[in-house]
Amino acid sequence: MRGAIAPADAAGGPAARPTILPALLFNNAEGAEIWLKTLPLTSVSDAYADLLGQLRALAAADVPPRERARIAEVLRDRVAFLHTELARRYAGKPQPAGDHDGAAAEQAIALWQALWEQYSTCLKPLLEGDPGLASVKAKVLQRGLHVGKELVLVYGLARRVPPATLWQELHAYYRLAEMLDCTGSAVSDPLIPQGVGISCYSTYSHALLLGLADPCAMSVKQIQLADRWLEMWARKVQPTTAPRERDGLLILIDLEAPAGAALAGGAPPAPFPSLRYAYAGRLATSVRGRLKRLQTGSSPAELQLGHDCSVEQCTTLLSYLDWRWNQPPRAPPTVAVSSLGLCSGGLDAAYYRVGGRTFDRRGPLRPFGMQSAQRLASLDALTDYDRGKEQAERAWAWERWEGTYEWREASLVRKGSPHYRWHLEQLVIVRDEERIRAGYVTRIAQGEGDLLAITIRLWSGTPKALTMRPLSGALTEAPQLPALLLSETPDDKACLILAARTFNPSRVLRATDPGQGRSYRLTRLLQRGADFERVAFDQPT
C-alpha cells in the first residue's frame, strides 16, 4: 500500500523535498488499539518514528470527527509514555542543548503537536454543530487543552520559552469552549491521577498557572511537583468575562495575545472584549495554608503534596509559587542596558578570575625536608610564573552578555554560540566596568533562533580567592582546595564559597596564601549549588 505525500513546506520554496507519509494502518479506535500492541517499547526511537508517522498519516486521512477524537484518545496514552522516556534525555539539561538533548526535545514537541492536530481538526466540525460531537464537546476541548498544557510542560523541561503560536492555540480552544458553553462541564481523564471532575477551565488555568510559575527558573523536580499539585489546585482559578470585587491578586488573560496570563494590581480602565479575569485568592489560601502546616510539623504526605518530596523541598517550592502567583508585580528596573563579562567553570575558574592566578592543585608537601620546600616556594614567589595561565585564558574566557544589571540581579541575553553551557545553580563570576563579583544562575531560557537568556543572582560581598588546606590530625597533609571568601556587608555576613561536597560540620580549613594563615571552622551550609557550596564559618582563636 503506497503512502501519501504531504505538501511541501512553504518556507522551503519550490526546491523543498516533499515528505512521504506512511500508510495509515487503522481507521477506527479499535484498529488503533490493535496496532498499538505491535508498537515496539524496547526502542524509544523506533516507537517514536512509528507513532509520529501514524499521527501524521491520520491528520491527512479523511476520518469522521467523532472517530478521529476516539483514535486520538487511544493514542494519547502512548504519546505520554514516550514523552516520559524522551524527557529523561532532555529535561533540565544545560543550554544551549547538545545535539542528543535537543533532538529528544524536538521529538517530544513533534509528538504532542501531531496529537494536538487531531483535536484541532475537530474544532471546525464542533463549531458547525456536528451531531457526532455534540455529546462529547466538553471532553474533546478538554483533551485539546490538556495537550496544550503538556506542550507548556515540555518547553519548560527543555528550558525553552513557549512560542506565541502555542498560547494563541490554547486561547482559541478556551474561546471555543466559551462559545459552546462548556467551560465548566465536568469530565474525567484517566491520564490524570486527580482527573475526576475536571473541566475545560481547570485545564486551561493549569496551563496558565504553569506558565506563570516560569518553569525556566525551576529545577526538573520542581516542575514535576508544580504540575502535579496544579492537578488539584487549578480548578480554584476560573477565568471570567468581567472583573468582580477584589479577591486576591488579579490574573489577566488576553485571548488574542501571543502570551499566557499576567499578574496585575487591578483591572484596566478600558477593558476590551478578549480580556478575561481570574483571581488567585483561593489558590493563595491553599499554598499559604500548607506552608504554615509544614512549619508546624505536618508531613508533605498529610498535605497531599506527595510521598516523594521532603519538607525542605516543599517549603522552598511553595514559597516560590506563592511569590509567582500571589505577589504583585514590581515595576521594571530603570537600569540601563549594560555589557557584562561572564565566566563559569567551577571553583577553579572562579579562583583564576578573582585571584588572577590558576589554582595550583599540588598534593601534600614532598618529604624531602622543610628547607627544600621553603626554597621552592621562594623561587615560585620570585619568578611569579603561572604555567597554566595560557590554557586558563582559553578555557575560561570572558563571555560578553547584554542586559539589565542591578546590585542583586542581572538579567542578560546573548545571541550566537556561547563559550559555556549554562545550567541552574551554576557558579558565575561577573565583571562590570569597575569590579568583579560572584553569583549563581537562577533562570535559563532558550528563545527563538539562537537567543539565550539567563538571570544571575549576585552576592553582595566582594570575592577574594584563597588557597585552603584542611587541618588533619594525620602526619601527612591533605591536598589544597580553592575557595572564595565573600566579605561581610550590611546585607550579608562573610562566608566561603567552596567546591561541592566540601562542607562538613566543624571541619577546619586553613588559608595557605602568603600573608594569610587564618583558620576557618565550617559551621553551617547556607546554600548548595550545582558546582559549589556556600558555607558560614567562624574563626577559632
Instruction: Tell me if 449 sits within 8 A of 421, measured CB to CB.
Output: no
State residue 256's pLDDT score.
Answer: 95
SS3 463: strand
Angle at 510 between CA 505 and CA 513, to 5 degrees: 145
CA 466 from centroid of its chain's CA atoms: 33
Q: Tell how strand 427-431 and strand 337-343 pair up.
A: antiparallel
Q: Cβ(309)–Cβ(384) under 8 Å?
A: no
CA gap 160, 446 in Å, rounded: 5
User: In sequence order, which ranges of 234-385 are alpha helices (DSSP H)?
Assistant: 281-295, 311-326, 347-355, 370-383
Confidence at residue 13, expressed as pLDDT on a 0 to 100 scale:
41
Tell me, rounded to whole angstroms, the distance of Cα 347 from its chain centroid: 24
pLDDT tens profile 32-47: 999 999 988 888 999 9
Sheet arrangement for strand 262-264? 262-264, 250-254, 275-279
The listed CATH number (2.40.230, 2.40.10, 2.40.420, 3.30.2390) that belongs to domain 337-361+391-458: 2.40.10
Q: What is the DSSP letter of 308?
A: S
What residue has cell string 541575553?
413
So what's the pLDDT on residue 3?
38
pLDDT of residue 28: 94
* Residue located via cell numbers 455529546: 135
* pLDDT given at position 541: 62
Give me the DSSP letters along 432-457: -SS-EEEEEEEEEEE-STT-EEEEEE
Q: What does the DSSP assignment read for 130-164?
A: -TTTGGGHHHHHHHHHHHHHHHHHHHHHTTBPPPH
Report the run of H or E that residue 57 belongs to, with start and end. helix 44-60
The residue assigned the cell 472584549 is 273
pLDDT for residue 142? 96
pTM listed for this prediction: 0.89
The alpha carbon dihedral of 160, 252, 201, 64 has a sign of negative
Label residues 7-31 b or e (16+ Cβ within 10 Å = b).
eeeeeeeeeeeeeebbebbbeebee
> CB of 24 within 8 A of CB of 55?
no
Burial class (CB in 10 A: 0-12, 13-18, 19+), 235: buried
Q: Give the 3-state secondary structure of residue 490.
A: coil
Collect the ranges in the chain with pLDDT lower than 50. Answer: 1-17, 363-369, 372, 375-376, 379-380, 382, 475
Give the residue extent of every domain in the chain.
Answer: 337-361+391-458, 463-538
- Of the candidates 244, 129, 238, the one whose C-alpha atom is nearest the C-alpha of residue 176 is 129
* HSE of 331, CA atoms in CB hemisphere, 13 A: 3
Contact 260, 207 (CB under 8 A): yes
